[in-house]
């Protein structure tokens, strides 16, 4: 007899497609937040499937900190070309030049928190009423409380204690002028699910995820890549290692791990044996126990 049930990856895919179509039906002007990282790549892939044979009916938006891996920017531009969609860029450098935000000072200064202002400005300027993100609930404890449709007030803020209840698969995207939503189609996916899906679908991802030789420095328990923004401490030295990245953020804060995994199969195998969370290599999350919650409340991804 024929089976009439889906396996877990098909069920997750179907759920994400359902969410993406709901966004399109309920909002006037949605965008996909696209960083060039694996999660936003998977979301763009799912959007391609959700609206086929139509093109993805909304733009991709990139919040550009200026501290990018060059590989990520190339990948972003290739993706835009392949999907035939519009790209909107929000530039942190412009926010700094306009005096909207000030560069962080000190030894571990990053542009991570500055993205919040740029993101919210870009949302306001482009009249975006829903920004679709690749956030997953397994990433971090504040994200474990996220809804699929997550409300932001007219200051772009998240109020985690006063969220709309979300029952069954009925999503309430109603909002007033000036407010917006974040939507998270892959809420229920884990890091492992994402890799298994990328492998199954053979989705193209930036070369940074595969093991490669790179100049790095050991800082905060991970290998930080050498770049024009890197300021060396006295005791630090640049070495060449075979590494790969588990997540991609700014080149200044994204740490790599030593690895020989240079194919999707090897990466999936490696991830399944990992004993540390992927965000463990992100110094933006190490600042305090509620670093993510605090940023999310202000309007972070």
Partner 1 sequence: MLDKNQLLRFTTAGSVDDGKSTLIGRLLYDSKSIFEDQLQAIENTSKKKGHDGVDLALFTDGLRDEREQGITIDVAYRYFTTPKRKFIIADTPGHIQYTRNMVTGASTANAAIILVDARHGVIEQTKRHSFIASLLQIPHVIVCINKMDLVDYAEESYNRVIDQFEEFSSKMLVKDVRFIPISALNGDNVVNRSENMDWYQGAPLLHTLETMHISSDINKVDTRFPVQTVLRPQSDEHRDYRGYAGRVASGIIRVGDEITALPSGFTSKIKSIDTFDKTLEEAYAPMSVSITLEDDIDIGRGDMIVRTKNQPETSQDIEVMLCWLNNSPAKPRAKYTIKHTSNDQKAMIKEVIYKYDINTLDRNKVDKDLKMNDISKVKIRTTKPLMVDPYRENRTTGSIILIDDATNETVAAGMII
SS3 240: strand
Structure tokens at 13: 């895919």
Least distance (Å) between residue 274 CB and partner 1: 7
Q: How far apart are CA 114 and CA 105, in angstroms?
A: 12
- Nearer to partner 1 (CB atom), residue 260 or residue 289: 289
Helix, strand, coil distribution of the chain in percent, nearest 5: 35, 15, 50
* Minimum CB distance to partner 1 smaller for 240 or for 276: 276
The 3-state DSSP class for residue 278 equals helix
Please, which residue, 121 or 129, has the CB nearer to partner 1? 129
- 7 or 105: CB nearest partner 1: 7
Closest among 173, 155, 145 to 22, alpha carbons compared: 173
Tokens of 80: 């835009």
Asked whether 210 and 259 are in contact (CB, 8 A), the reply is: no
Q: What residues pair up with 30 in beta bridges, in sequence order?
A: 130
> Least distance (Å) from partner 1 to the CB of residue 286?
9
Cβ 300 to partner 1, closest distance in Å?
15
Q: Is the CB of 31 or the CB of 101 nearer to partner 1?
A: 31
**Closest distance between partner 1 and the C-beta of residue 233, in Å?**
23
Task: Note the residues at the interface with partner 1 (CB under 8 A).
Answer: 3-8, 10-15, 17-18, 21-22, 24-25, 48-55, 137-138, 141-142, 144-145, 160-161, 163-170, 172, 174-176, 187-188, 190, 192-193, 196, 274-277, 280, 289-290, 293
């Amino acid at each position: 007899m024929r089976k009439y049930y889906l396996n877990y990856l098909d069920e997750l895919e179907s759920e994400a497609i359902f969410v993406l179509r709901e966004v399109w039906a309920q909002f006037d002007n949605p965008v996909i937040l696209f960083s060039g990282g694996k999660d936003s790549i998977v979301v763009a892939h799912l959007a391609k499937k959700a609206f086929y044979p139509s093109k993805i009916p909304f733009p991709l938006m990139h919040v550009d900190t200026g501290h990018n891996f060059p590989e990520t920017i190339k990948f972003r531009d290739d993706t835009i070309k392949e999907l035939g969609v519009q790209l909107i860029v929000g530039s942190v450098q412009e926010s700094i030049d306009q005096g909207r935000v000030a560069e962080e000072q000190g030894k571990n200064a990053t542009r991570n928190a500055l993205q919040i202002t740029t993101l919210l400005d870009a949302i306001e300027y482009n009249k975006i009423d829903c920004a679709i993100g690749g956030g997953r609930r397994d990433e971090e404890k504040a994200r474990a409380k996220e809804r699929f449709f997550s409300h932001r007030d007219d200051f772009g803020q998240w109020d985690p204690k006063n969220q709309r209840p979300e029952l069954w698969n009925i999503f309430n995207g109603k909002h007033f002028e000036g407010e917006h939503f974040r939507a998270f189609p892959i809420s229920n996916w884990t890091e492992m699910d994402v890799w298994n899906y990328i492998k199954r679908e053979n989705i193209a991802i930036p070369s940074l995820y595969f093991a490669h030789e790179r100049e790095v420095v050991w800082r905060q328990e991970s290998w930080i890549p050498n770049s024009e923004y890197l300021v060396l401490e006295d005791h630090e030295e640049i070495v060449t290692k075979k590494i790969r990245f588990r997540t991609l953020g700014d080149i200044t804060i994204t740490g790599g791990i030593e690895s020989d995994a240079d194919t999707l199969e090897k990466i999936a195998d490696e991830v399944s044996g990992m004993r540390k969370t992927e965000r463990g290599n992100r110094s933006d999350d190490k600042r305090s126990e509620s670093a993510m919650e605090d940023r999310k409340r202000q309007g972070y991804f």
